[in-house]
Each structure stands twice: as structure tokens, then as C-alpha cells.
Amino acid sequence: SQPSVKLSSGYSLPLVGLGTWKSAKGEVGAAVASALRAGYRHIDCARIYGNEHEVGEALAAVLAEGVVRREEVFITSKLWNSDHDPARVEAACKQTMADLRVSYLDLYLIHWPVTGNTGPEVLPRLEDTWAAMEKLVDAGLVRTIGVSNFSVPKLERLMAGARIPPAVNQVEAHPYWRNEALRAWCEARGVHLTAYSPLGSPDSAAITKRPEDTPTPLKDALVGQVAAQLVRSPAQILIRWAVQRGTSVLPKSVNADRIRSNLDVMDWEIPADLFQQLSAIPHQARMVDGSFWVNPQGPYVTIHDLWDGE
């Protein structure tokens, strides 16, 4: 079994999971199969990625081969913004479960604290969406619930009225966007932090409309130096750094060799002095800055509103 962290729900989440955002149809199924055969026990999915049907096909095939049992694989998915209406939550979850061909999800997250972003209509409040998420646990559809892309103030607001606290906050984190204040707050409050885009998401530049030459931690000089010194790849340094700071981590790849090597981060460590240096890189900038949710009609009129200044 893979090293894992115990969540506030009582379930264990394997520290390294396969990311599937941007994994193309026709490629994602093979990636999932490679990952499970290589020993991954955690697959991170979302309805909006548009590929859950193919992920489900691959999962079913690998399970049928007897490579792993369903209970040994941790499957996450996420509720999309257009399904925040409490009346839509269960159907959205069931659609994802049907696509993934599973009878339960290990983890279901509110994907963004964004309840639609066009028009002045009255939108459901995050608290009400959360209550519908809690009902999924009651109904046995989902074992653990959490959120993604939530700031401290938004988590506080949600947790104030929650019957079941969010066990996970999945956010962007890597040496160029450490998100340290949020990580520390979450740790103190028993919310596990999962790092997405741990390699700096080099393949999302077009989607996030950032320049192709945006500096990326994969090409960082210090990361390269540490990799050379430890005889590891830059990606392995970044993934190991995430694990070593107590987060779980979701490297995305559709290449079987990279999938395999991205999991090989458990039986070695980054020495403390180098870890400190990686944790002090001054350049800090989000790759996925959420600017696509900023809208003059709200609910987030500025980028500050979305991230609450974090």
C-alpha cells in the first residue's frame, strides 16, 4: 500500500495521486491503467475535465484484471460550479459515479467557491451547497467531502455551519506558489491540504492565458541543482518536496515512464538544508490564478474577492 494520510473523516488518502486535468480523451485511460499498474492507489478526477467516462473504463478494466481491488483505490471527483444548487448536487455526483463506474466516491470536492459567474440571478450560497454535500455522505455515495480553491475566510465561513467539516482543501501548491499561510492554517484546523499542479502546470498556459514563457518550477535553477545532487529528476524533487511538507500531491502525466518515475518519491528524502532552500524561493505566483472567474456582475468582482487576498 502507498504511504497515506489519515483524514478527519477517518479514511486514508494516499499521498501521491495521478492528476487527470488536461489529460486528453484517447490518452487518459491508458494513463490511469499505467498508474494503477505502477502502484498508484489514488486517482484525481473531475466532471469538468470531460474525461471521467474514459477514466471509468480504464479503472473497470484494471479492476477486472485483478491488479487491485476497488477498496484499495482512492477515487476523488469534484462538483462543478453549475451544479451548486442543492437540488442538483446528488444528480451531479451520481453522473460522475456512473461515468467512473464506481458505487461510491472516496472523496468529493466543491471544485471552486464559484457558484456560476454570469448574471445577477440569486445563486445558492456555499453553505447550502455544503449541506447537500453532507447528504451525499449520509446516503453512502461519498466517504469523505471537501473543497478546492478555498481561502481561509471561505473555509471559516463554511466550517462555521458545517455538520461534517471539509476534510480536504485541494489547491495549487509548488515551490513557486507555496501557499504556506493557507497550508499552516489548514494543518492547525485538521483540514488536509492536497497540492495540485505540483510541477507548475506547464501544459495549462493556454487555458489560463499566461505567457508560454512563464517561469516554471520544473525549469528552476535550484530545483535542477538539487535534482543533480540527489540524482533525481526535477519532477521528482518537486513531488518529494510536496510530500515532505506534509501535503498530498497530484502530478499529472499521460506518459507511462513519467507516471512511474513520479511515484518514486518515497524511499529517499531531500536533506533539510536543501528542503529549506526550496521552501524559500522568492518568486511566488499562481499558475492557475482564477481570473476566469472574475466578473463585473459578481460574485467575485476582483481577483482579491476570489482569493481573499491570499
Binding region for substrate: 111
CA-closest candidate to residue 245, choices 189, 304, 186: 186
DSSP annotation of 296 reads T
Dig out the grid coordinates for 104 from the structure. Answer: 461510491
CA distance 230 to 235: 12
Catalytic residue among 49, 108, 176, 196: 49
CA distance 71 to 104: 10
Q: Which residues are annotated as a binding site?
A: 111
Of 43-51, 105-113, 200-208, 298-306, the window that binds ligand A2P (rule: CB under 6 A) is: 200-208
Decide if 53 contacts 101 (C-beta within 8 A). no
Q: In the bound complex, what is the minimum distance in angstroms from residue 19's beta carbon to ligand A2P?
A: 5
Which CB atom, from 121 or from 267, has the smaller least distance to ligand A2P? 267
Of 79-87, 135-143, 197-205, 222-230, the window that binds ligand A2P (rule: CB under 6 A) is: 197-205
Active site residue 49: yes
Asked if residue 253 binds ligand A2P (CB under 6 A), the reply is yes
CA distance 102 to 112: 23
Asked if residue 262 binds ligand A2P (CB under 6 A), the reply is yes
CA distance 165 to 223: 36
Asked if residue 34 binds ligand A2P (CB under 6 A), the reply is no
CA distance 310 to 299: 17
Q: Which of 16, 173, 199, 306 binds ligand A2P (CB under 6 A)?
A: 199
Asked if residue 254 binds ligand A2P (CB under 6 A), the reply is yes
Could you identify the residue written with the cell 447528504? Answer: 135
Q: Give catalytic residue positions.
A: 49
Q: Which residues would be at the binding site for ligand A2P (CB under 6 A)?
A: 19, 197-203, 218, 233, 235, 251-255, 258, 261-262
